[in-house]
Structure 1
């Protein structure tokens, strides 16, 4: 194991791996990535991997527009035809109930188009042509993104990591970081299970585990950690893998669903979830109330799923900031440290572009997309990024 790097990334999820690849592309820096287990073994492994650009915060749309470009041409972007992301261009439909939410949806579509998103408002008839199983009787407005879809978290993350390794990044796996090492107000390295590693710059992308390393430095992450449940449902007929992803703003928990392997539909939520103290202590059991509620909602939106059965379930942890948007940048009062956390359930779709912006920031290049709105200081300065749909990962 190398004992010093110019830049060391802690965390081998999709954000860390994307950052590692882009650092190798943009500089001759000596770069390492350290992961306590295997690449894509933490939060990313449990992602539903939905890719869309619908947001009400403009910078979120800008980042995901760029990320969609990368997903659609992943092999060419990484310069390796053997690397896959598993991207399926299914399209994305967002449904808003009559009234204020529909008005906000239409306003957001205009903003997104100005930024460069491929999106449009469509009629109910057009929506049913894309997804014939839907019941839209209670829906006021529908947005559609033809080039959005979903991908494979493992293939995407290992794709970035392997491309980074090919270009000289050292991947250090099965090696936990016990603490950050400091000198004065500067972070100078990490203490691992096998010894000390020094670095000129540390990038922390450890998701909901970040507090293990920041709390000893008295860095306030402003984080809530929560538990989110996902189920897959099977009806009598096989669910077509090319049917569009659905986001249903008429539901209290901002339900979404998409096709998944085996002809099933994957169902999740964009709400706060259940608070937990630490991701390692997360209860893996899905509660009956969640299944009943999701079953009721999905059968309302797709009546053919009234008698659907559960085929799989899992849980994952969200790292949620007060405005449901990430922190990308230096923490107040510290040098030699860049934070990348708090993605609040929408990190996967942002990760390709976020990795590039973090790499540009790390080597002193002006970022293609301004990430200053994601500063750590915004919470104490009351500069929160406000979403039109309230709290949730659709902000």
Structure 2
């Protein structure tokens, strides 16, 4: 049986980030096992938004360190040809009068206190940056210039190439079927390609995390939740790459927007989606009624889009925990196991920072951001990481 110091399950953007950071910090013997291909699971369905705006301070810290990685991706992975497809367009967020106003004010102030550049704009300044939008109802508008969007698949494959250059072995098309244990210690995995032993197992299984729960006999609170993304086209009001990504806290679906190139706008909801009975990444049905409902919300903020056409659509799946924040670190009294799951729509944005602190933890090093708030036992103790905006991906 082949032995590795570290085995990582999953080669999405989190798993490949962990592998890169393990190798970059000196790990000599690392195996990554992926049931499909690199970045082809939920990573490939990401809309790619990047921002540091969160209402949970620890998430802001992780997002800030991750932004530096995205903004300097070739240097970060040590490859002059690497690209994450970054479009640095900034990020606008606004709220009308109502229950989202004070959370937005507090979150913007917290970012500023942490030294993050955030500007408060009036309606005219906001309209100059996003001239296709109406801000008539806006009571508070924040603008984060160091933000934008990137390509999650490019990031995952970039991390994977970096890991391989540093000696990491990545096996694609191999499914883990069980863990191997000696008492309460995980000592390896059983797979479709045979058994492998390890010193530490790191699970980044995303929506397939319930499989791990069954193998170790410990409940892991995560569910797969499907969300829909629409690409709308409006020739008379093109959403250009120069225009900022935008979060509308005043819309019923807490919609977020960004350019999708040409004259297209990408839009999706930031609220609870459709809970699935089992993990799957297949495309779900998108009804015309749903398109009309979201389209009506879009037209309230972007009046010209009242006559926009639907260019394309797809669905993506989040691994959602009860408080919409991830679980990072150890699991109960199980030794030799580190987990990262339940990213609830944050995974890509935080992937460099998450990969680094999980690697640090696995290596027995101090972590750049404390794992304590992300501990599994918070669900039993009631110390939840609940965002100020309620359930949704702005946490």
| 1:291 aligned partner | 291
3-state DSSP of counterpart to 1:251: coil
User: What does residue 304 of structure 1 align with?
Assistant: 304
User: What SS is found at the alignment partner of 1:376?
Assistant: coil
Answer yes or no: is the 8 Å Cα contact 1:227–1:282 preserved in 2: no
After superposing the two structures, state which structure 1 stretch, 33-42 or 235-244, moved more. 235-244
How far does residue 118 in structure 1 lie from its aligned partner after superposition? 2.1
CA distance in 1, matches of 2:332, 2:307: 53
Q: Which residue of 2 aligns with 1:68?
A: 67
Are 1:107 and 2:106 an aligned pair? yes
Are the aligned partners of 2:284 and 2:315 in contact in 1 as well (CA < 8 Å)? Answer: yes
Contact 1:109-1:119 within 8 A present in 2 as well: yes
- 3-state SS in 2 of match to 1:380: helix
Q: CA deviation at 1:218?
A: 2.0
User: Matched residues in 2 for 1:45 and 1:283: separation?
Assistant: 12
SS at match of 1:200: strand
How far residue 88 of structure 1 moved from its aligned partner, in angstroms, is 0.5
Q: CA offsets, 1:141-188, max 9 Å, x none?
A: 111110100001111110011011111111111111111121111111
1:52, distance to aligned residue in structure 2 (A): 0.5
Is 1:225 the counterpart of 2:224 in the alignment? yes
Q: For residue 42 of structure 1, what is the aligned residue in structure 2?
A: 41
Show the counterpart of 2:367: 367
Q: Which residue of 2 aligns with 1:78?
A: 77
For 2:176, the equivalent position in structure 1 comes to: 177
Structure 1 stretches lacking a partner, 5+ long: none
Q: Which residue of 2 aligns with 1:197?
A: 196
Pairing of 1:313-332 with structure 2 (within 5 A)? 313-332=313-332
1:267 and 2:302 correspond: no
Task: Work out the CA distance in 1 between the residues paired with 2:214 and 2:113.
Answer: 40
Matches within 5 A, 1:132-147: 132-147=131-146
Give CA-to-partner distance per residue, 1:316-360, whole Å, 9 cap, x none. 111111110000011112111111000001110000111111111
Aligned partner of 1:241 in structure 2 is 241
Match of 1:9 in 2: 8
Deviations 1:35-79 (A, max 9, x none): 111100111110001000111110000000111111111111111
**Is the 8 Å Cα contact of residues 245 and 258 (structure 2) preserved in structure 1?**
yes
Q: Which whole-Å CA distance do the structure 2 matches of 1:66 and 1:317 have between them?
A: 25
The two structures have a TM-score, normalised by structure 1, of 0.97
Structure 2 distance, partners of 1:173, 1:3, is 17
- After superposition, residues 85-124 of structure 1 pair within 5 angstroms as 85-124=84-123
Q: 1:356 to 1:251 in 2, by over 3 A?
A: same
State how 1:374-389 maps to structure 2 within 5 Å: 374-389=374-389
Q: Superposition pairs for residues 343-354 of structure 1, below 5 Å?
A: 343-354=343-354
Query: 2: distance between equivalents of 1:197 and 1:242?
Result: 49
SS of the equivalent of 1:336 reads strand
Deviation at 1:281, TM superposition (A): 7.5
Quote how far apart the aligned CAs of 1:262 are: 3.8
* SS of equivalent to 2:381: coil
Deviates more, 1:274-283 or 1:65-74: 274-283
**2: CA distance, partners of 1:212 / 1:262:** 42
1:62–1:116 CA contact under 8 A, matched in 2: no
| Kept after mapping to 2: 8 A contact 1:165/1:171 | yes
State the Cα distance separating 1:294 from its structure 2 match.
Answer: 1.1
Q: CA deviation at 1:368?
A: 1.4
RMSD across aligned C-alpha pairs, in angstroms?
1.3
- 1:304 Cα deviation after fit: 1.2
Partners of 2:212 and 2:263 lie apart in 1 by 41
SS in 1 for 2:76: helix
